[in-house]
Amino acid sequence: MELLLKNNIEINCKAKPKELVIRDIGRKLYESGYVEASYIEAMLLREESFSTNIGNGIALPHGIEAAKKSIKQSGIAVMVFPEGTDWGSEKVKLVIAVAGIGEEHLEILSNIADKLSDIENVIEVINSGVDKIYEILTGK
């Protein structure tokens, strides 16, 4: 299975509490077979201890270190909030859940940060359809 499936990209999401966003996006990872259900709770624990908001209107929720064993295969899921959704200190428009096995975790985070370090790329993703977002994030 590849890192990102098109059906794990959801656009035009409506704002909702951060906990619900994490549960929804975590469910995508679970239902696609990337993680066990317990990974969703680990994502919520990570968020309680350290915000996954990385700036530029992006949040990268992921599980705590102890949840690594809950990951079956590395994968990501994407939710786009054109109007933004509250992420504590600011609104975010792009939420990308990350589940990475071993060293792949840092590689995935690094690739996402690299692709989305330019605000122009972030704006393009927020304003794109599923196919274009898939292309931007996977290079395919």
Instruction: Look up residue 122 and give its two tokens.
Output: 């972030």
Catalytic residue, candidates 18, 62, 93, 105: 62
Q: Tell me the three state secondary structure of residue 73.
A: coil
DSSP 102: T
62 carries an active-site annotation: yes
| Residue 41 contacts residue 30 (beta carbons within 8 Å) | no
The tally of CA atoms less than 13 A away on the side-chain side of residue 92 is: 23
Alpha helices by DSSP H, listed for 2-140, are 18-31, 38-49, 104-115, 119-126, 130-138
| Catalytic residue positions, numbered | 62
